[in-house]
Amino acid sequence: MNIANIAPHVYRGLCNASAALALDADRFVVADDEISVLKVYRFDTPGLPLPGEDIDLHAFLGGKEEADLEGSALVGDTIYWIGSHGADGDGNPAPARRVLFATRRGGPGERLLVPLGQPCRRLLDDLAGTPVQQRYDLLGAASKAPKDPGGLSIEGLADTPEGHLLIGLRNPVPAEGVLLLVLENPAEVVDGKPARFGPHLSVDLGGQGIRSIERHGDGYFIVAGPPGKGKEFAVYRWSGLPEERPRKLDVPQLAGLNPEALFFDPDGWLHILSDDGKDQPGGVKCKHLPADQRQFRRIALALG
């Protein structure tokens, strides 16, 4: 597979880009794992987000604590978003991170995106009795720091041809491969009904975890990285069949980036966003910068 690229674009307004989707050929929406606000940008205009299009989720999610949003997926006309579901960095309970919710296109007089249904906060509880919970004790993993061995961290979300959601784990990574949970009824879940899980999948990424995953064509593209600390990242192409090992792609453009969000636009370009929370100009911490000076990078790849 030949890969051509254009130089990285720099966007401002947030720095911890963690999940994103194309809204159309001109615009994309981005989540930041440090704030519960979605921002909309134009592909052709690097810089600040579109004015008046921020989607503040604090009231909908019911609190000021960060939801640690890490993944997004489009199913029909609905965009689903998921939090990491893990503890905080010290292993303390972080219930605000246990969330799956949905947004829809806004109508006349509404924002571009508006919340849909209600947030779900019982995904892990609904895993009780499933083979994946019995085998890997993900509820127990959620009590550990997310980057510690055996800690829980969800970072990937993708749709399936059946309208299900694949929930990709960064951590833990068992010996047989990284885990993908299969949520079969996402629309019912954001309508307040219990989650129904199908058999989980294991994918061999060479010991790495999932940072982002998206379905494209007849398969999936995955950004993989260490389950804990580290900066060894890779992009994989996977058929979606559990018996087939993903194929690692040669993407030298990842050098120097912290890839956390991968998505395609309607023209078939692959976009990767870098979580630059620790790589701000001058080494200044993101939280110490005014919002209009916080930045993240985007690379665009044409796959031929």
pLDDT at 225 over 90: yes
pLDDT at 271 over 90: yes
Mean of per-residue pLDDT scores for the chain: 95
Reported as a single tens digit per residue, the pLDDT across 166-183 is: 999 999 999 999 999 999
Reported as a single tens digit per residue, the pLDDT across 251-266 is: 999 999 999 999 999 9
- Residue carrying structure tokens 């880009």: 17
Buried b (16+ CB within 10 A) or exposed e, 181-218: bbbebbeebbeeeebebeebbebbbeebbbbbbbbeee
Percent of the chain at pLDDT above 90?
A: 92
pTM of the model: 0.97
pLDDT given for residue 303 in this prediction: 82
Helix (H) or strand (E) holding 165: strand 165-171
| pLDDT mean over 137-149 | 97
Reported as a single tens digit per residue, the pLDDT across 79-118 is: 999 999 999 999 999 999 999 999 999 989 898 999 999 9
Residue type, 37: V
Percent of the chain at pLDDT above 70?
A: 98
> Contact, 297 vs 273, CB < 8 A?
yes
pLDDT given for residue 5 in this prediction: 57
pLDDT at 6 over 90: no
Reported as a single tens digit per residue, the pLDDT across 214-223 is: 999 999 999 9
Reported as a single tens digit per residue, the pLDDT across 41-52 is: 999 999 999 999
pLDDT at 1 over 80: no
Q: Which of 223, 226, 174 is nearest to 200 (CA)?
A: 174
> Contact, 274 vs 298, CB < 8 A?
yes
> Contact, 1 vs 236, CB < 8 A?
no
pLDDT at 3 over 70: no
Reported as a single tens digit per residue, the pLDDT across 113-131 is: 999 999 999 999 999 999 9
pLDDT given for residue 7 in this prediction: 74
